[in-house]
């Protein structure tokens, strides 16, 4: 059994939540928390079930926190504590062992994979041990999107749909949702959380496999019993920290545990639906890019009961955004990433530097999704997530078909349309001739930001021309997307197109007393390119420097302005902005050094004059003394 003290110390080092461990206030009428642990160890996890029970008993229930367990054991794995193999219920007390005599009730052999058994346990536990908050812990093997709770007697598991049905009945019986549903099991995926979202406020689980030892119940429950007024978010956050701390630096496996807001999941699903819609439209033209994005995405354990086809959704969207060349896909990927960041409230991760199974967690953002090479599961389209996002259709399509571009011959170039011509590019002209009826979407971007995306109805053989203007001078990219029958059929990207404008840098150079410094050399240098322009100040100390944007600078460049005169120099550095036509910078040239030199020279001259006078006086005095001496001689 893990040491609670050792893990608490590790959490302190990791910046955990030890300040939450405050002394409990006066006893409330009902408990603050009831932990309902649905522990199916009727399989090869029996040893770990006993170990976790003992960890819970290392803390025990209090007047403020109830630890309630329904424990199903197996035959042939562990003979301790009476070697019973049926199902029993416990209110776990400090120092308790899982014996028949310690049980509240003996249920006989129960199929823990039967959703009716779960409903019975939770409704009984909530009625017998009411609390302000309920934490339902589903303890067992996890099968990814397919389900959880693998009971070897009678060799069944609870499907995700059955689990959702059970939680729906529990919500009806309790008259409220469960505060937290946690899986001390492998692979709590987005599909499972979306199915259960109407029935739970928060979810805690690992998007990848867990080590067999599972959660550190001693550390976790010690914290909650010490601070029972923790909110669900605090409890879930503490658990993610405690879990990672229990494996940090010692586990041969990478680990991850996340707290996810159920209320935020609809936004994730909505953003995923928009992203998938554009993905489906881009196929098969961008098939190779999508396959490469998947190949570059962090994938979790490839073996085991769940099949090993879970990928980090956030990381996949990042790879699509960076590799597809489609700015609309990139923008929708960004929206999905924003939604995931909002939904994942805490994400504890330790990426082992050398995991024994080769599986890392450096890109674990909290939400995994099923992403097989070839989808072969007939039940997957029935999931709520499939129906809402058409992710199942994408799984069928992303390797199907052969990319067959229909070229439009699209071009884009910067042009000067001013009258009379001033030699500056002021618009970007896009030309294309679609060979079939369809639609053209012309996307103007600056970096990742979409500035404009006009859409044109395309008539077969009819040339199309479009002028794009930008909100400011700079360098921009144009992507022409051509859709036929709703499918992307051509993608042409033209980067680094200039929209130009004249820009003035002006100001004055003065000394510390405010006197104009005329004839000073003023130099403006672009730090990124090392290109510089110079001019001199006029009789009034003013300077003007003219530049062409973006030839001399682009938005965000760092510029250094320097004034030099008579061996003296002053500099200023600032970030350039192309959102305007001029910028003023006044410089003060420090002349104190020269004045000090001049003052010193004057002082030296004065001192020399005084010395000269003294020497002259001495000479006169000496001559007078000699004259007086001669008078006294005979």
* CATH number of the CATH domain containing 580: 2.60.40.10
Beta bridge partners of 339: none
Q: Which of 32-41, 301-310, 445-454, 621-630 has the lowest mean pLDDT?
A: 621-630
What's the Cα-to-Cα distance from 36 to each of 134, 218, 540, 562, rounded to whole Å?
A: 7, 16, 82, 70
Do 19 and 258 touch, CB atoms closer than 8 A? no
Tell me, yes or no, whether 478 lies in a domain. Answer: yes
Q: 529 and 479, same structural domain?
A: no
Tell me, yes or no, whether 239 lies in a domain. Answer: yes
Domain end residue (candidates: 499, 528, 561): 499
Q: 199 and 102, same structural domain?
A: yes
Does an H or E element contain 413, and which? strand 411-415
By the 10 Å C-beta count (0-12 exposed, 13-18 middle, 19+ buried), 378 is classed as: exposed
Q: 181 and 88, same structural domain?
A: yes
Q: 423 and 378, same structural domain?
A: no
Q: 428 and 327, same structural domain?
A: no
Residue 262 has pLDDT above 90, yes or no: yes
Q: 444 and 521, same structural domain?
A: no
Q: Quote the strand ranges of 244-379, DSSP E.
A: 255-261, 310-312, 344-350, 368-370
Strand 427-432 and strand 255-261: pairing?
A: unpaired
Residue 24 has pLDDT above 50, yes or no: no
pTM over 0.95: no
Residue 592 has pLDDT above 80, yes or no: no
Do 227 and 21 touch, CB atoms closer than 8 A? yes
Q: 46 and 190, same structural domain?
A: yes
Residue 9 has pLDDT above 90, yes or no: no
Q: How far apart are CA 376 and CA 187, in angstroms?
A: 19
- HSE at residue 156, side-chain half, CA atoms within 13 A, is 12
Domain boundaries, position 295: 267-343+353-397
Q: 203 and 110, same structural domain?
A: yes
Tell me, yes or no, whether 621 lies in a domain. Answer: no
Q: 339 and 193, same structural domain?
A: no
Domain end residue (candidates: 592, 611, 629): 592
The whole-number average pLDDT for the span 550-558 is 94
Domain end residue (candidates: 437, 464, 499): 499
* CATH number of the domain to which 234 belongs: 3.40.50
Tell me, yes or no, whether 607 lies in a domain. Answer: no
Q: Measuring CA to CA, which residue among 553, 545, 551 is closest to residue 505?
A: 545
Tell me, yes or no, whether 609 lies in a domain. Answer: no
327 — pLDDT class (breaks 50, 70, 90):
very high
Q: 426 and 293, same structural domain?
A: no
Count structural domains, the chain: 4
Do 40 and 150 touch, CB atoms closer than 8 A? yes
Q: Which of 11-15, 205-209, 502-506, 617-621 has the lowest mean pLDDT?
A: 11-15
Q: 289 and 252, same structural domain?
A: no
Tell me, yes or no, whether 196 lies in a domain. Answer: yes
Q: What is the pLDDT of residue 274?
A: 99
Q: What is the pLDDT of residue 306?
A: 52
Q: 274 and 335, same structural domain?
A: yes
Q: Measuring CA to CA, which residue among 438, 382, 59 is closest to residue 226?
A: 59
Tell me, yes or no, whether 307 lies in a domain. Answer: yes
What's the Cα-to-Cα distance from 28 to each of 146, 177, 222, 504, rounded to whole Å?
A: 40, 21, 19, 71
Tell me, yes or no, whether 450 lies in a domain. Answer: yes
């Amino acid at each position: 059994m893990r040491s609670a003290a050792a893990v608490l110390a590790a959490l302190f080092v990791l910046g955990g939540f030890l300040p939450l461990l405050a002394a409990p206030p006066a006893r409330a009428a009902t408990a603050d928390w009831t932990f309902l642990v649905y522990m199916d160890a009727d399989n090869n996890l029996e040893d770990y079930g006993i170990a976790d029970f003992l960890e819970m008993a290392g803390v025990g229930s209090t007047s403020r926190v109830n630890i309630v367990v329904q424990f199903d054991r197996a035959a042939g794995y562990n003979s301790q504590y009476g070697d019973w193999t049926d199902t029993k219920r416990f209110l776990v007390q400090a120092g308790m062992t899982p014996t028949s005599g310690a049980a509240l009730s003996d249920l006989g052999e129960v199929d823990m994979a039967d959703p009716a058994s779960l409903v019975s346990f939770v409704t009984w536990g909530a009625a017998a041990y009411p609390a302000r908050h309920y934490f339902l812990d589903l303890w067992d093997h996890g099968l990814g999107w397919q389900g959880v709770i693998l009971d070897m007697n009678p060799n069944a598991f609870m499907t995700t749909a059955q689990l959702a049905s059970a939680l729906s009945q529990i919500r009806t019986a309790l008259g409220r949702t469960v505060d937290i549903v946690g899986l001390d099991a492998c692979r709590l995926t987005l599909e499972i959380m979306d199915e259960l979202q109407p029935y739970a406020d928060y979810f805690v689980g690992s998007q990848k496999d867990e080590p067999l030892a599972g959660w550190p119940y001693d550390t976790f429950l010690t914290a909650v019993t010490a601070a029972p007024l923790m909110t669900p978010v605090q409890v879930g956050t503490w658990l993610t920290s405690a879990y990672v701390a229990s494996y940090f630096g010692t586990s041969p496996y990478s680990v991850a545990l996340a707290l996810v807001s159920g209320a935020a999941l609809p936004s994730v699903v909505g953003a995923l639906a928009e992203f998938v819609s554009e993905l489906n439209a881009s196929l098969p033209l961008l098939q190779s890019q999508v396959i490469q994005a998947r190949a570059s995405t962090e994938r979790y354990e490839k073996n085991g009961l769940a099949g090993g086809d879970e990928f980090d959704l956030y990381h996949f969207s990042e790879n699509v955004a960076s590799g597809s060349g489609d700015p609309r896909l990139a923008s929708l990927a960004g929206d999905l990433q924003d939604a995931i960041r909002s939904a994942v409230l805490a994400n504890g991760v330790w990426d082992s530097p050398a995991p024994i199974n080769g599986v890392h967690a450096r890109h674990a953002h909290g939400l995994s999704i099923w992403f097989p090479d070839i989808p072969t599961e007939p039940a997957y389209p029935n999931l709520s997530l499939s129906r809402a996002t058409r992710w199942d259709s994408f799984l069928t399509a992303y390797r199907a078909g052969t990319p067959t571009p229909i070229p439009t011959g699209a071009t884009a170039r910067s042009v000067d349309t001013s009258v009379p011509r001033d030699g500056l590019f002021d618009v970007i002209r896009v030309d294309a001739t679609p060979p079939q009826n369809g639609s053209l979407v012309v996307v103007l971007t600056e970096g990742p930001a979409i500035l404009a995306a006009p859409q044109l109805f395309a008539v077969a053989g009819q040339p199309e021309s479009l002028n794009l203007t930008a909100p400011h001078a700079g360098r921009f990219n144009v992507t022409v997307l051509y859709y036929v029958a709703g499918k992307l059929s051509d993608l042409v990207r033209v980067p680094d197109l200039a929209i130009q404008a004249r820009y003035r840098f002006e100001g004055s150079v003065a000394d510390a007393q405010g006197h104009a410094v005329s004839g000073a050399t003023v130099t403006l240098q672009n730090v990124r390119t090392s290109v510089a322009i110079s001019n001199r100040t006029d009789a009034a100390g003013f300077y003007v420097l003219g530049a062409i944007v973006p030839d001399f600078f682009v938005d965000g460049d760092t510029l250094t302005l320097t004034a030099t005169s008579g061996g003296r120099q002053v500099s200023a550095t600032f970030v350039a902005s192309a959102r305007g036509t001029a910028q003023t910078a006044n410089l003060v040239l420090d002349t104190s050094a020269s004045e000090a030199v001049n003052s010193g020279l004057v002082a030296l001259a004065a001192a020399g004059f005084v010395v000269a006078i003294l020497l002259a006086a001495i000479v006169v005095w000496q001559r007078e003394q000699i004259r007086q001496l001669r008078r006294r001689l005979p």
